């Protein structure tokens, strides 16, 4: 079954927002679908209901509980830092081999589409030697690259595309996730990135109200997967 790694050029750009929107859209066609957010930094158990894993669980139609969060996000750290630093503050570490095995087990056991959401951007350190890029390379599944619409995103996106090409990773689609802080029109950003995307489809996704599933951009992204 198809599995996709959801990655980004940085943090707080829209990985969870896009993943949740796709989950809700696919569920409407009664597809069995699953999602993981294996590593979470900035996790506060006292407000777990607002965390990224909780957003994914809600989109999946699953009850939010400590056990459910543990199933999809086993590496959780309090500090809002890169995982290697956040783990060190707690006297812990991300076991890279265990992380890859956890991800592969989910891929092999999936009965339908599976989204594995990364943490931060593609070069975020996971331990003293490995980054999210190494994680994606080990899994070697298609990527959904989420980028922002802010000034400077084109350079960040093209840098990411160059690095991913060096690792020979497949990009299923590039999604420009709009925010209310963007200084450049969404369509202009999409058109600029398209000129350098080497045939990879670029989809502009407007900032939508929470919970919405019926939008042409979401349908287009889903059809590219």
37 catalytic residue (yes or no): yes
Measure the CA dihedral 34/144/4/97, to 10°: -110
**Catalytic-labelled residue, pool 15, 37, 111, 168:** 37
Domains delineated in the chain = 3-224 (3.40.50.300)
Q: How many CA atoms lie within 13 A of 150 on its CB side?
A: 13
Amino acid 29: pLDDT: 82
pLDDT 10s digits, 2-47:
999 999 999 989 999 999 999 999 998 888 899 999 999 999 988 8
Question: Residues 201-221: pLDDT tens digits?
Answer: 999 998 876 656 678 999 999
Report residue 169's pLDDT band, with 50, 70 and 90 as the boundaries: very high
pLDDT of residue 183: 80
């Amino acid at each position: 079954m198809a599995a996709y790694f959801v990655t980004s050029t940085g943090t707080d750009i829209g990985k969870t927002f896009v993943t949740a929107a796709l989950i809700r859209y696919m569920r409407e066609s009664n597809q069995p679908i699953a999602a993981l957010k294996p590593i979470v930094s900035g996790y506060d158990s006292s407000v777990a209901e607002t965390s990224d894993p909780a957003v994914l669980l809600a989109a999946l139609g699953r009850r939010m509980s400590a056990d459910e969060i543990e199933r999809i996000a086993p590496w959780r750290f309090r500090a809002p830092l890169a995982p290697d630093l956040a783990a060190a503050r707690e006297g812990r570490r991300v076991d890279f081999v265990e992380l890859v095995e956890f991800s592969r087990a989910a891929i092999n056991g999936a009965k339908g589409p599976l989204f594995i959401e990364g943490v931060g951007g593609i070069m975020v350190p996971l331990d003293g030697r490995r980054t999210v890029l190494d994680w994606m390379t080990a899994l070697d599944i298609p990527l959904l690259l989420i980028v922002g619409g802010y000034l400077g995103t084109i350079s960040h996106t093209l840098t990411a595309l160059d690095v991913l090409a060096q690792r020979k990773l497949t990009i299923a689609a590039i999604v420009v996730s709009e925010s209310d802080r963007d200084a450049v029109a969404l369509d202009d950003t999409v058109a600029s990135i398209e000129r350098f995307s080497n045939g990879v489809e670029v989809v502009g996704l407007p900032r939508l109200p929470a919970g919405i599933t019926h939008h042409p951009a979401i349908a287009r992204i889903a059809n590219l997967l």
